[in-house]
Amino acid sequence: MLTVFKEEGFDMTGLRVLKRLFTGVMVLFLIYGCSSKGENRGSILIGSIRSDRKVAETKIYVYPVGNHTKEITFGYSGLDIYVPIGTYDLKIDWRGTIKWVNNVKVEPYKKAEQQVIFPLGTLVVQSSNSDGSPADASVLVTPVNEGTQGIDVQRNEKGEITAMTIQGEKIKLGDKEEEVISKFKPDFRRSEPTKEAEGTEITYYFRILGTNIDLTFTKSGSAPSTLKIISYDEKVAAGIAGEPIELNPGKYDVKVEHERITKWIRAVEIKDKEKTEQSINYPVGKIIIKPTKPIEDAKEVPVAIYLEGRYEVMAKGGKLGEEISIVPGTYDILIEYNNKKHWIRGVEVKDKGVVTKEISLTN
């Protein structure tokens, strides 16, 4: 029997024996582990950067060579991905932008290293009013609607998508599942399809030209499965006027919205490592509301401007005596003072025009 403690104190002999036993077990474990698994494994390490040399944080999907429908595993740039020895195709995904690295050979105890560079350009939209003042505007970048290079959408009166032409391939509601899916490369799938309603409904998820397209098919009885719903998110990127928006090189349509006016800039070309600037101009007029008699707190009295007859959402706001810039149109104006509401209705504003109205607030 091994004695570790004695009445007189601690016996170091027993502790040394335990340490040797533990070390022996660990050695056997390592030898067994290496011989059974280690010799059949290696690793993949992907470094991803942008063309401006900044780091691009990417997700890496590992597939068998030539089979991009059967994902083996996944990992992230800058971290080792451990896989059995063999040859693989890799899908590198950076914010929805896909690059493929094919025929990556993984050998025992070795690391297969690759660097992937994502090209990148920037778009800046400058938005101004007709009087030269800056115009706040939102910017939405979409695929170009141009022949085989872009995406064209047809909708019904309800706004529902009934058909699409995607890089020259047309699909429409009622088309057979097999015919539709055959038009798109497996590489376009952003995730595995999902089934619902006891297998009678299946949805495919695609990422094409930087946008998300979901196609839902339904099956009834022995009839073939057909396309029932087309869902499309046209946004490639978004931002605000005056701020740079990062984009992959290519052509885009750009929607710019200021207040309730929407304008399009078509077929904007973005090049790698270059900044592309676009300018857009909006009409503007001004409204000034003054009290007929001076009041002490005039600068604190709020002015609310609504589209004529539409009071759900205020079109613009300001204060008494201020110049309030607003897009041309016809408006109803509300001034609240001393818990009373005062209306000025049917005020017409024209481009570059200034409309001044007076109102009595002392009654």
Model pTM above 0.85: no
Show Cβ contacts of residue 325 under 8 Å, excluding neighbours closer than 6 positions: 129, 131, 133, 284, 285, 286, 316
Least confident of 225-239, 271-285, 293-307: 293-307
5: tokens are: 């403690």
Dihedral sign for Cα 318, 322, 327, 330, please.
positive
Are 114 and 136 in a shared domain?
no
Cα 142 to chain centroid distance, Å, stands at 11
Instruction: From 224, 254, 281, give the residue that closes a domain.
Output: 281
Contact predicate 71/85, CB 8 Å: no
pLDDT for position 1 = 41
Q: Mean pLDDT score of the chain, rounded to an integer?
A: 89
What mean pLDDT is predicted for residues 24-41?
52
Dihedral sign for Cα 46, 51, 57, 61, please.
negative
What are the beta bridge partners of residue 171? 164
More confident residue, 46 or 16: 46
What is the share, in percent, of the chain residues with pLDDT greater than 90?
77
Cα 125 to chain centroid distance, Å, stands at 19
Are 238 and 300 in a shared domain?
no
Are 133 and 277 in a shared domain?
yes
CATH number at residue 355: 2.60.40
Are 184 and 246 in a shared domain?
yes
Strand, coil or helix: 190: strand
CATH number at residue 103: 2.60.40.10
Dihedral sign for Cα 315, 320, 326, 329, please.
positive
pLDDT for position 149 = 84
Q: Which of 251, 235, 232 is nearest to 138 (CA)?
A: 235
pLDDT for position 186 = 84
pLDDT for position 32 = 41
Are 151 and 168 in a shared domain?
yes
86 backbone φψ class: left, alpha, beta (φ>0; ψ -120 to 50): left
More confident residue, 273 or 10: 273
Instruction: From 86, 118, 150, give the residue that closes a domain.
Output: 118
Instruction: From 54, 85, 118, give the residue that closes a domain.
Output: 118
Are 203 and 164 in a shared domain?
yes
What is the share, in percent, of the chain residues with pLDDT greater than 70?
89
Strand, coil or helix: 21: helix
Are 129 and 249 in a shared domain?
yes
Contact predicate 314/294, CB 8 Å: no
Are 170 and 313 in a shared domain?
no
Are 93 and 150 in a shared domain?
no
Work out the number of other CB atoms within 10 angstroms of the CB of residue 251: 16
Are 269 and 131 in a shared domain?
yes
Q: Which domain holds residue 112?
A: 39-118
At residue 2 the predicted structure's pLDDT band, cuts being 50, 70 and 90, is very low
Q: Which amino acid is at 73?
A: T
Are 93 and 231 in a shared domain?
no
Tell me how many domains the chain contains: 4
Q: Which residue's structure tokens are 């609240």?
A: 336
Are 172 and 66 in a shared domain?
no
